[in-house]
Amino acid sequence: TWTAGNVVAEQVERIRAQVGDARVICGLSGGVDSAVAAALVQRAVGDQLTCVFVDHGLLRAGEAEQVEDDFVAATGVQLKVVDARAQFLGALAGVTDPETKRKIIGREFIRTFEAAAREVVAEAGAHEEEVRFLVQGTLYPDVVESGGGEGAANIKSHHNVGGLPDDLQFELVEPLRTLFKDEVRAVGLELGLPDAIVWRQPFPGPGLGIRIIGEVTAERLDLLRAADAIARAELTAAGLDRQIWQCPVVLLGDVRSVGVQGDGRTYGHPVVLRPVSSDDAMTADWSRVPYDVLATISTRITNEVPEVNRVVLDVTSKPPGTIEWE
Ligand code: XMP
């Protein structure tokens, strides 16, 4: 019978057999897959694992802390955090085209991760050990989609680690290769990971970088993070997290609209709420979130984020709209 406990026991055996006493590296994104994969490897080989977290500054409120504090507390993993916020902002300065943003974010991510991986290798070298293994949170549907059998290491560009340089040769450790998403969550819970990580809704690798229409700036990121945190808190409070696939909050950075607050005219930015229901993100419908919940979100955002003076709801299915706006 399938139990999360059996999966953990079995994978711990397999990982130990594969890795021996070599060193292992794993990139954490804040998402559930990389977190569960890392936690399994940690359970199997402990301090032989070093996790790398690239903080690109495009995560939502509290997500970096979830990795740096909560994940570490739950697993005891060795974590190397790279603060690359300024670097990413600099690289994105003046850029408005969505695909260009994606390319820049992907490129900077790979560059930063590579540099961190080299440091881990160098540090391990001092102990005359080798870093030969890279953990990937590849799930069964990813394996099927890429038509891959055993050993077909299809590393996705944005949200996973990205292509690694030829002179850093890693063998992949993929402990989630036989699992579906719900099974991964069960394993995560079995391993004692925090609910906020285990139940995290899908979030794009390029993060808030593709949820600001127009240029990505530090000020706009702060606005969007504040608005997004309110929307998420209210959807959670209303008990809607498991019904809604995800709810992007999008800042229309290049649009302003006139408003009035107190005695004064305002000229602020709109944010868009994009709650969707879906099974696999290939198609989606807009979620019928109760009006009262929408009203609370709107009131709170416009009260608490003064630069935002208008909240609008996206009522487009996919197709023709994509889930994200960029
Ligand atoms: P769209 O907007 O294409 O999104 O309907 C479908 C799903 O994919 C996520 N998404 C991305 N994930 N890198 C990612 O890792 C990306 O560049 C990216 N773009 C969209 C989106 O959040 C949704 O779950």
Is 35 known to sit in a ligand binding site?
yes
Q: Evaluate if residue 159 carries a pLDDT over 50.
A: no
Residue 199 DSSP label: T
Q: Whose C-alpha lies nearest to ligand 1, atom 9?
A: 204
- pLDDT tens digit sequence for 195-249: 999 999 999 999 999 999 999 999 999 999 999 999 999 999 999 999 999 999 9
Query: What is the model's pLDDT at position 168?
Result: 63
Q: Evaluate if residue 132 carries a pLDDT over 90.
A: no
Print burial letters for 147-161: b (CB count within 10 Å at least 16), e (below 16): eeeeeeeeeeebbbb
Choose which residue among 210, 324, 325, 326 to substitute to test ligand 1 binding: the one with the highest number of ligand atoms within 8 A of its C-beta: 324
What phi, psi does 99 have (nearest 5°)? -70, -35
Q: Are 224 and 212 spatial neighbours (Cβ–Cβ below 8 Å)?
A: yes
Q: Are 236 and 106 spatial neighbours (Cβ–Cβ below 8 Å)?
A: no
Model pTM score: 0.91
**Ligand 1 midpoint to CA 151 (Å):** 26
- pLDDT tens digit sequence for 32-48: 999 999 999 999 999 99
Q: CATH says 4-198 is which class? A: alpha beta
What phi, psi does 140 have (nearest 5°)? -55, -45
Q: CATH says 211-313 is which class? A: alpha beta
> Could you give the 3-state DSSP secondary structure of residue 223?
helix
Pick from 118-122, 213-217, 281-285: least confident: 118-122
Q: Evaluate if residue 285 carries a pLDDT over 60.
A: yes
Query: What is the model's pLDDT at position 154?
Result: 35
Is 30 known to sit in a ligand binding site?
yes
- Mean pLDDT in residue range 100-113: 96
Q: What is the H or E stretch that residue 261 is in? A: strand 257-261
What is the β-pairing status of strands 264-273 and 249-252?
A: antiparallel
Encoded amino acid at 175, one letter: P
Query: What is the model's pLDDT at position 127?
Result: 63
What is the β-pairing status of strands 276-277 and 249-252?
A: unpaired
Residue 286 pairs in a beta bridge with 276
Query: What is the model's pLDDT at position 226?
Result: 98
Which alpha helices (DSSP H) does 60-170 contain, by range?
63-65, 72-75, 85-92, 98-125, 140-145
Enter the ipTM.
0.99
Q: Evaluate if residue 261 carries a pLDDT over 60.
A: yes
Query: What is the model's pLDDT at position 128?
Result: 52
Taking each helix axis from N to C terminus, what angle separates 98-125 and 85-92, rounded to the nearest 10 degrees?
A: 150
Residue 183 pLDDT grade (very low, low, confident, very high; cuts 50, 70, 90): very high
Nearest residue to 59 via CA among 90, 95, 85: 85
Is 149 known to sit in a ligand binding site?
no
**Ligand 1 midpoint to CA 78 (Å):** 30
Q: Are 101 and 92 spatial neighbours (Cβ–Cβ below 8 Å)?
A: yes
Q: Mean pLDDT for the chain?
A: 92
Residue 123 pLDDT grade (very low, low, confident, very high; cuts 50, 70, 90): confident
Residue 161 pLDDT grade (very low, low, confident, very high; cuts 50, 70, 90): very low
* Gap between the Cα atoms of 51 and 77, Å rounded: 7
Query: What is the model's pLDDT at position 165?
Result: 58
Q: Whose C-alpha lies nearest to ligand 1, atom 3?
A: 322
Q: Whose C-alpha lies nearest to ligand 1, atom 14?
A: 204
Q: DSSP for 294-314?
A: HHHHHHHHHHH-TTEEEEEE-
Query: What is the model's pLDDT at position 182?
Result: 94
> Helices (H) and strands (E) in the chain — how many of each?
11, 12
**Ligand 1 midpoint to CA 263 (Å):** 41
Residue 260 pLDDT grade (very low, low, confident, very high; cuts 50, 70, 90): very high
Q: Evaluate if residue 131 carries a pLDDT over 80.
A: no
For the chain, give percent helix, strand, coil, nearest 5.
45, 20, 40
Among the atoms of ligand 1, which is closest to the Cα of residue 202? Answer: 24
Domain boundaries defined on the chain:
4-198, 211-313
Is 31 known to sit in a ligand binding site?
yes
Nearest residue to 60 via CA among 278, 248, 298: 248
Query: What is the model's pLDDT at position 145?
Result: 75
Query: What is the model's pLDDT at position 164?
Result: 56
